[in-house]
Chains A and B, each alone.
Chain A
Amino acid sequence: MAATIPIGPYHVALKEPIFLKLEVEGERIKDADIKLGYHHRGIEYLAMRRTYWQNIFLFERVCGICSDAHTTCYCQTVEDVAGVTPPERALFLRVLVAELERIHSHLLWLGVAMHIIGFDTLFMQIWRDREYVQDLLEIITGNRVNYAYNTIGGVRRDVDEKTIRLVKKYMDTIKNAFDKTVEAILQDPVIEARVKGVGVLTHEEAKRYGVVGPTARASRIASDIRKDDPYAAYDRLDWEMIVFDEGDVLAKTLVRVYEVYESIKMVNESLEKLPPGPIVTEVSRFPPGEAFGRVEAPRGELVYYIKSNGTNVPERVKVRTPSFMNIASVKPMLLEETIADAPLIFASVDPCVACTERVIIVDSRTNEKKIMTFNEFMIRYGRKRK
């Protein structure tokens, strides 16, 4: 007998509204349906109503966890359109904040994963250690969450000697605390029983679904924008890409665990190699043209496309977030697993629902669903700017 178990749109294990419909026989999942559409905010449309400068603050708010990755990508793409290069110091500072953000994002994910398998003690401790990173981000950028750090042509705040010493001290503290956490994760037999061999995404499936970021790297796809298409100062730093073969939740956990170590290394290195000089290049004009930029957000490849028509308002901004690629790959992972593992498997791709929502038009008379191009949508609903 098959029954349907709804997970979502509002569910304890999910941080954001998404609907997983699981067809189960007993505890085995036979079919899964993933429904989005509870959280559409129309960001891309808003972006076309604001100037390039105002848009920095808008894209800061696409995602609360990877807000720096979004502005970095946006600013890089606009710099491409405007034809300016940020000063060297700004590039290193962007790496600094981006890697701090990656540490906090990965720690956040680890904590949530531990909570989902019922290990609340470790969840609390990981989040307690994450506070050090949040403090650092506040000291460097002035904010805990939406940092408002990047600007077109560079960054907005410089670091002084005192901050650099503090960051290095905190990095040691974080590393020591994280060592203990990793020891606990790797040695606990119950954790191993819960994550090993669960939710496997094979190399072939991973390629077919085009997954990105840690999800891809856990399935033997060596793809990292920081290595493949270096931006900011990543090509001048010494670090390694973490790739695992297994594709299960354990591999996805380990990828993130070792990436935290790499990020700690990169934060220290970028501070050591920090060149002197200005932190921002003046930008005054946005000539007609288009540009395409990408960065490695904590969840994977983030893509921005910007088309300029010569005014101070972009004609089109297109955002493709990593979760957009990753969420669909949950389905092959879920099949033949148990309900107990479903929230963990879903969380294992580190979904960021708010970034991912797209417009779907549903015709209620024919019950037809179609995804429209933006032009069609604008023409039909009569709000296209002439």
Chain B
Amino acid sequence: MTDVMEVILAIIYAALYPGGLFAFFMGAMFLWSYRKLRARMQSRVGPPWYQVFADIVKLFNKETIIPKVAHRTLFVLAPIIALTGCVTALWLLPIPAHVLPTAEPLVSPLAFWADIIVILYLLALIEVGEIVAGASSASPYGAVGASRRVNLLLSSELPFAVSIVGVVIFMKTLSVNEMMVKQAKEGPFLITSVEGLDPMLYVLSVVFRICLFISFLLCVLAKMGKRPFDIPEAECEILAGPLTEYSGKLLGLFEVTNALKWFVLPAFTVILFIGGDTSIITFLIKCFVIVLILAYIDIINPRYRIDQAYKFFMKVALLLSLVGLIGEMLVLYAVVGV
């Protein structure tokens, strides 16, 4: 009997809450709030709240056209790869289940001791999906878009991983779930302290952690394809980039992935840096703050060229994350001793 209950719970977990419908709805809301904010800051009216759903419903009702010259299997597989990566990463994230703060957080059925590494790869899978889409569509715009996506992935993945290593070293765990539990006890990663840390070192340590956070946010911008790193989809140069040839249901799948991305990436950021919630409400507020930061950066920036973005990630983002990581390690070393 308990087995049946567990299966039912797992299905609810995967399909309704927090994976699946709930995440999709929240992602769509975050995407809409970004679009609305952007419109208002540009003196425009902006879309109504149901715009994202309307778009997706419309796309799923339209004919899907697959170009004759495209590689058919890969062309169909690409949006599925991206969606799989996004949804699986979502299932691994420990998202609070209670409205009011409680003692026991919800644990993902899939969670294990080193799931952060898997999440890192799954998030890259979303971009791999886009690369496959661009490369298989046999369109020059798609090919250029895919090559730009590869460049961006190569340059942003290193600072992204280094920032995560910084968090992991401080938390002494590879499990996102344990990180969440630990932060619930000791306060969010960004401002938490270690026993025996004197105030001067504490301030220094927070500065290093903020370095990690900024570097991480920059990489999240690149992963979301937002300005100044929306180079793969630069519509003035290469139309829709990798998605140029997509239509109908396949494009709809990409749109679903995009909406989910707006929940997964802010949620991942919150869990790593300012997490520790046992209530879904504070968790969503924190996610919204991250969405606002991303939206604001997107609104006030033009677009870099791909070579400039590559240099930016190698010179600024990687440097920031390395400074954060090494500084963090030195502070910990000073506290713990040899």
Contact A124 B44 (CB under 8 A): yes
Decide yes or no whether B237 CB sits under 8 A from chain A: yes
Decide yes or no whether B21 CB sits under 8 A from chain A: no
Decide yes or no whether B238 CB sits under 8 A from chain A: yes
Please name the residue on chain A nearest to B308 by beta carbon: A193
Please name the residue on chain B nearest to A120 by beta carbon: B42
Decide yes or no whether A334 CB sits under 8 A from chain B: no
A175-208 interface code vs B (CB 8 A; 1 in, 0 out): 0000000000000101101100000000000000
Residues of chain A with a CB closer than 8 A to B305's CB: 193-194, 338, 340-341
**Other-chain contact of B234, A4, A118, A124 (Cβ < 8 Å):** A118
Contact A117 B303 (CB under 8 A): yes
Please name the residue on chain A nearest to B44 by beta carbon: A124
Contact B144 A121 (CB under 8 A): no
Decide yes or no whether B230 CB sits under 8 A from chain A: yes
**Other-chain contact of B237, A6, A124, A343 (Cβ < 8 Å):** A343
Interface residues on A, range: 20 to 34
Residues of chain B with a CB closer than 8 A to A125's CB: 42-43
Among A125, A193, A341, which residue has the most Cβ atoms of chain B within 10 A? A193
**Other-chain contact of A27, B144, B227, B230, B301 (Cβ < 8 Å):** B144
A98 to chain B, nearest CB (A): 28
Residues of chain A with a CB closer than 8 A to B299's CB: 121
Secondary structure class of chain A's binding surface, majority of residues: helix
Give Cα distance in the complex from A26 to B38, angstroms: 33
Q: Contacts A12-B236, A118-B227; is A124 near B303 (CB within 8 Å)?
A: no
Contact A340 B234 (CB under 8 A): yes
Contact B306 A3 (CB under 8 A): no
A120-136 interface code vs B (CB 8 A; 1 in, 0 out): 11111100100000000
Give Cα distance in the complex from A204 to B235, angstroms: 34
B90-145 interface with A by 8 A CB criterion: 140-141, 143-144
Contact B228 A190 (CB under 8 A): yes
Decide yes or no whether B294 CB sits under 8 A from chain A: no
Decide yes or no whether B318 CB sits under 8 A from chain A: no
Give Cα distance in the complex from A3 to B146, angstroms: 15
Give Cα distance in the complex from A124 to B39, angstroms: 9
Q: Give the total number of A-B pairs whose CB atoms are below 8 A apart.
A: 82
Decide yes or no whether B307 CB sits under 8 A from chain A: yes
Give Cα distance in the complex from A343 to B238, angstroms: 10
Residues of chain A with a CB closer than 8 A to B42's CB: 120-121, 123-125
Please name the residue on chain A nearest to B231 by beta carbon: A340
Give Cα distance in the complex from A116 to B303, angstroms: 9
Contact A4 B140 (CB under 8 A): yes
Among B143, B147, B236, which residue has the most Cβ atoms of chain A within 10 A? B236
B141 to chain A, nearest CB (A): 8
Interface residues on B, range: 20 to 34
Decide yes or no whether A342 CB sits under 8 A from chain B: yes
Contact A121 B41 (CB under 8 A): yes
Contact A343 B306 (CB under 8 A): no
Contact B140 A119 (CB under 8 A): no
Q: Contacts A6-B140, A27-B144; is A117 near B302 (CB within 8 Å)?
A: yes
Please name the residue on chain B nearest to A124 by beta carbon: B42
Give Cα distance in the complex from A9 to B239, angstroms: 13
Decide yes or no whether B304 CB sits under 8 A from chain A: yes
Please name the residue on chain B nearest to A338 by beta carbon: B305
**Other-chain contact of A340, B43, B140, B228, B237 (Cβ < 8 Å):** B237
Residues of chain B with a CB closer than 8 A to A114's CB: 302
A1-31 interface code vs B (CB 8 A; 1 in, 0 out): 0011110000111000000000000110000
Contact B234 A194 (CB under 8 A): no
Contact A188 B302 (CB under 8 A): yes
A332-358 interface with B by 8 A CB criterion: 338-344
Decide yes or no whether A307 CB sits under 8 A from chain B: no
A109-159 interface with B by 8 A CB criterion: 114-125, 128
Give Cα distance in the complex from A358 to B36, angstroms: 45
Residues of chain B with a CB closer than 8 A to A119's CB: 301-303
Contact B236 A118 (CB under 8 A): yes
Give Cα distance in the complex from A117 to B299, angstroms: 13
Decide yes or no whether B300 CB sits under 8 A from chain A: yes
Give Cα distance in the complex from A6 to B230, angstroms: 21
**Other-chain contact of A124, B43, B230, B236 (Cβ < 8 Å):** B43
Residues of chain A with a CB closer than 8 A to B300's CB: 121
**Other-chain contact of B302, A118, A339, A341 (Cβ < 8 Å):** A118
B237 to chain A, nearest CB (A): 5
Please name the residue on chain A nearest to B305 by beta carbon: A340
Contact B140 A5 (CB under 8 A): yes
Contact B43 A338 (CB under 8 A): no
Residues of chain B with a CB closer than 8 A to A4's CB: 140
A90-115 interface code vs B (CB 8 A; 1 in, 0 out): 00000000000000000000000011
Contact A12 B239 (CB under 8 A): yes
Give Cα distance in the complex from A242 to B141, angstroms: 38
Give Cα distance in the complex from A190 to B42, angstroms: 19
Residues of chain A with a CB closer than 8 A to B301's CB: 118-119, 188, 190
B47 to chain A, nearest CB (A): 15
Interface pairs (6), CB distance under 8 Å? A12-B235, A121-B300, A124-B43, A190-B304, A194-B305, A340-B231
Query: Which 7 residue pairs spanning A and B have beta carbons closest together?
Result: A118-B303, A119-B302, A124-B42, A13-B236, A340-B305, A116-B236, A117-B302
A117-B303, A339-B238, A344-B236 known, 15 other contacts, Cβ within 8 Å: A3-B140, A5-B140, A13-B236, A27-B144, A118-B228, A118-B230, A118-B234, A118-B236, A121-B41, A188-B302, A190-B228, A190-B303, A193-B305, A194-B304, A339-B237
